[in-house]
Amino acid sequence: MVKREHAIIGAATVTFLGLLVIKDGEFGVEYLFLLYFFVALFYELDARFAIGAGLFLLIGAALAIQRSEALANQIAIYAYYLLAIGVVLEVVTYIEAGGEDEEEVEAQNRKEEKVKGRIIVVTSGKGGVGKTTITANLAVALAWEGNSVVVVDGDIAMPNLDIAMGVKSAPSSLREVINGKVEIKNVLYDAYEGVKVVPCSPCLDGLTERNAKKVQAIIETLTQEFDNVLLDTPPGREAITLMNRGYEIILVVNPDQASVLDALNMKTIVERKGCKVLGAVLNMVGAVKKELDIDDIEETLGVEVFAIIPQDKKIREASVHEVPFFLYTGPESKASIEIIRLARLLKRG
């Protein structure tokens, strides 16, 4: 790309050279090199062309020396011109890049892109299907797998992620961050396995559109610091206001028609918002005899069921003890194995 300052320098030089030529009445070859230099600067030509050509001419000079010393000297002078041009162009490029090599800048950009964490939203459509339970346990399993994880309670009206994660006391919460009273860093509470929890004190009026935008901004900031930002959501439409383009969605469903159809509606809406539905978690399996089977659920939803969590009284027991079931039942239980599988699938991307 042509930069404005280069254009000015180039135009001034061409004019200057023109004047010189007119004044002396003859045209020296040196001027051609000068012209090449400014054209290269103007069009940001690669300095390596000049250096390469210079080296090529130096070899030519070495070969020519046996035939004619004068010719060899002349070629060597041109080679030095080209090498000097190449070096100056390199220095200009280096200064413009702020002292950093172009490749170094690119490598840094790539590293920064990689560092940015992902936002995974756990949602359903229907209430009571196990969103909070899955969010808390997925958080612990991801941390167990070596990820840095923060969980955010997006169920503003009826939050209980803090209980699920065993956070006993939280003087401030997401609510105060939304209201601008405290900063997000002041509401990152320690929980199991190094997971950080952003709890929310209940706001019975629910979530306004404006506050939903603030929550989005908050969780997007958290991606700078954490590999995974997990968002627990309220049941129903309120969850949708929290979603933003690029968020990744896990649908939690129970093996019944109502839950699956509500999840399908949710999927349709979030996809319209530019979110990516990764897959589903089938929870509370085996609670009753007549249940939908996995193939039907996958076909209806059009996504893969990543994990199948049984109905297990130990899971309810764990929630009463305010401990994620992954830790309460241990990593060998059927539910924990499924959650680890989900965490590994997510880790792979």
Question: Which residues of this protein are in contact with Mg ion, per CB under 5 A?
Answer: 131-132
Smaller CB separation from Mg ion, 40 or 151: 151
Q: Minimum distance from CB of 160 to ligand ATP (Å)?
A: 7
Choose the contact partner of 130 out of ligand ATP, Mg ion, none; CB within 5 to 8 A by kind: ligand ATP
Q: Does 242 bind ligand ATP (CB under 6 A)?
A: no
CA 261 to chain centre: 31
21 residue type, one letter = V
Query: Using an 8 Å Cβ cutoff, are 79 and 54 in contact?
Result: yes
Secondary structure (3-state) at 168: coil
Choose the contact partner of 89 out of ligand ATP, Mg ion, none; CB within 5 to 8 A by kind: none
Quote the tokens at residue 45: 């030509």
Smaller CB separation from Mg ion, 132 or 216: 132
Beta-bridge partners for 276? 248
Q: Minimum distance from CB of 104 to Mg ion (Å)?
A: 46
Q: Does 324 bind ligand ATP (CB under 6 A)?
A: no
Nearest residue to Mg ion, by Cβ distance, number only: 132
Q: Does 123 bind ligand ATP (CB under 6 A)?
A: no
CA 104 to chain centre: 20
DSSP one-letter string for 176-209: HHHTTSS-GGGG-EE-GGG-EEE-----TT---H
Q: What number of CA atoms fall less than 13 Å from residue 87's CA on the CB side?
A: 8
- Helix spans in 128-279 (H): 131-144, 161-164, 174-178, 209-222, 238-242, 257-272
Choose the contact partner of 329 out of Mg ion, ligand ATP, none; CB within 5 to 8 A by kind: none
How many residues interact with ligand ATP (rule CB under 6 A)?
Answer: 18
Which string of b and e fits 212-247 if b means at least 16 CB within 10 Å?
bebbbebbbebbebbbbbbbbbbbeebbbbbbbeeb
Near ligand ATP by CB under 6 A: residue from 117, 154, 235, 255: 235
Quote the tokens at residue 344: 């590994």
Smaller CB separation from ligand ATP, 148 or 334: 334
Q: Does 202 bind ligand ATP (CB under 6 A)?
A: no
Q: Does 286 bind ligand ATP (CB under 6 A)?
A: no
Q: Does 154 bind ligand ATP (CB under 6 A)?
A: no
Q: Minimum distance from CB of 230 to ligand ATP (Å)?
A: 13
| Cβ neighbours for 310, distance < 8 A, ≥ 6 positions apart | 284, 285, 286, 334, 335
Smaller CB separation from ligand ATP, 47 or 266: 266
52 residue type, one letter = G
Binders in 128-147 for ligand ATP, by CB under 6 A:
128-133
Task: Give the whole-angstrom CA distance, residue 346 versus residue 349.
Answer: 5
| Cβ neighbours for 99, distance < 8 A, ≥ 6 positions apart | none
Q: Minimum distance from CB of 270 to Mg ion (Å)?
A: 17
Choose the contact partner of 147 out of Mg ion, ligand ATP, none; CB within 5 to 8 A by kind: none
317 residue type, one letter = E
The one segment of 13-21, 122-130, 220-228, 263-271 that binds ligand ATP by CB under 6 A? 122-130
Choose the contact partner of 312 out of Mg ion, ligand ATP, none; CB within 5 to 8 A by kind: ligand ATP
Q: Does 127 bind ligand ATP (CB under 6 A)?
A: yes
Q: Minimum distance from CB of 46 to Mg ion (Å)?
A: 58
Task: Give the whole-angstrom CA distance, residue 95 versus residue 88.
Answer: 11
Residue window 301-320: x/- pattern of binding to ligand ATP, with contact defined by CB under 6 A: --------x-xx--xx--x-
Secondary structure (3-state) at 44: coil
Q: Minimum distance from CB of 264 to Mg ion (Å)?
A: 20
Task: Give the whole-angstrom CA distance, residue 76 versus residue 296.
Answer: 79
Binding residues vs ligand ATP (CB under 6 A): 124, 127-133, 155, 235, 283-284, 309, 311-312, 315-316, 319
